[in-house]
Structure 1
């Protein structure tokens, strides 16, 4: 048995703080139960499979799932979204739960992570998620999506060649970033020009429901 299971932390929605419950209800609505199931997976199988560290368990809702899910407010209805480097399904699965009318393609090169995502998608019964085991460069010529998302993949200037080709000349990159976002935009100017991008915006999502809003760099193309 792992140390994480020996020191059990109840991350179920019923045990969450009133502020977290309000945020979950605002972001996920009728899908709150599915979000709860996802968080349970992250806190158990996600740790066991090595996708997350045990120290992340107490802050799964606020730091990870809600932090990602609030990006849904920037995604148009019915959009086709590719999530690059999905890892533990962040942000791809969190967004797919929040936005059941949109279709999500989760792109992840590591076999173990893909197997875990497939297991969670099956357990949650998500019908709006496809999982592709590949590097984004390998599928760029076969996909044409409306939105590309990414979190904790690389700095913006290195992220652009991994994501912009998936848009086939039109769409947006929504990159979840931290406080360094403005500096990353400055450092990426040459790459932005090379890939035909418009001027990026540094935005805040979830400011009305989260204690700390999510910082996003939105890069338009076309």
Structure 2
């Protein structure tokens, strides 16, 4: 059974206007075009755009519905950053910052943002250099970037300025949390594991700094 824009809109717990679908269709089209020239996603991944990538990314907005300032670390092909930006594009004050160290991938992100009219700023630099960026941010995200014991230190400058972390993870999350015990500073950060809308094996880890 195919999964497309209608199913995507149906499965989210908030209204998805036609304009958002059009922005995501632009993302999907450019992703296909650019993937012929560089390693963004393979054909199977592209065919699964709406569920595996768009829905997987968009669900984060429901977890932080008031958040307007987002930063995505290691944005790659634009998941979740470009998808979040497509959803927030009509909201006054929305800003999504994408951090990507690979120049070609950063160029792709900029091309999608420009053509789709997204409230995006791309930072072509390493995460360690980006630091706290142009914060404070409301949310910091990362998908398929690093295990938690490396990811938390990357996000620490942003988390420590009040952002919440929303990180995509898999079924081995318990092992990741155990390995990240030290970087969670023995309780300085709260990590909550949430189920994923897009994949029964997937998890979202919500990380907040305790006051």
With the length of structure 1 as denominator, give the TM-score of the two structures.
Answer: 0.81
2:128 matches 1:137: yes
Q: How does 1:23-102 map to 2 (within 5 A)?
A: 23=11, 28-30=16-18, 31-100=20-89, 101=91, 102=94
Deviation at 1:25, TM superposition (A): 9.7
SS in 1 for 2:190: coil
Higher helix share: 1
Provide the C-alpha distance between the structure 2 equivalents of 1:141 and 1:23, rounded to a whole number of angstroms.
33
Q: What runs of 5+ residues in structure 1 fail to find an aligned partner?
A: 1-10
2:116 matches 1:124: yes
2:203 to 191, 207, 215: 215
Structure 2 equivalent of residue 201 of structure 1: 192
2:169 matches 1:177: yes
Provide the C-alpha distance between the structure 1 equivalents of 2:5 and 2:104, rounded to a whole number of angstroms.
32
Q: CA, structure 1 residues 32+214, in 2 after alignment: closer, same or farther (shift >3 Å)?
A: farther
Deviation at 1:22, TM superposition (A): 2.7
Q: CA, structure 1 residues 191+21, in 2 after alignment: closer, same or farther (shift >3 Å)?
A: closer
SS in 1 for 2:189: coil
Please say if residues 202 and 216 of structure 1, whose CA atoms lie closer than 8 Å, have aligned partners that are also in contact: yes
With the length of structure 2 as denominator, give the TM-score of the two structures.
Answer: 0.85
Q: CA, structure 1 residues 27+216, in 2 after alignment: closer, same or farther (shift >3 Å)?
A: farther
Please say if residues 168 and 203 of structure 2, whose CA atoms lie closer than 8 Å, have aligned partners that are also in contact: yes
SS in 2 for 1:190: coil
Deviations 1:30-63 (A, max 9, x none): 3111112211222232343221122212211111
Off by >6 Å, runs of 4+ in structure 1: none
Deviations 1:109-154 (A, max 9, x none): 110001111111111111x111011112112154322211000001
Q: CA, structure 1 residues 157+116, in 2 after alignment: closer, same or farther (shift >3 Å)?
A: same
Deviation at 1:212, TM superposition (A): 4.0
Q: CA RMSD in A?
A: 2.5
2:117 matches 1:150: no
Structure 2 equivalent of residue 4 of structure 1: none
Q: What runs of 5+ residues in structure 2 fail to find an aligned partner?
A: none
Q: CA, structure 1 residues 40+182, in 2 after alignment: closer, same or farther (shift >3 Å)?
A: same
2:103 matches 1:111: yes
SS in 2 for 1:153: coil
Greater shift in the superposed pair: 17-26 or 153-162: 17-26
Please say if residues 28 and 97 of structure 1, whose CA atoms lie closer than 8 Å, have aligned partners that are also in contact: no
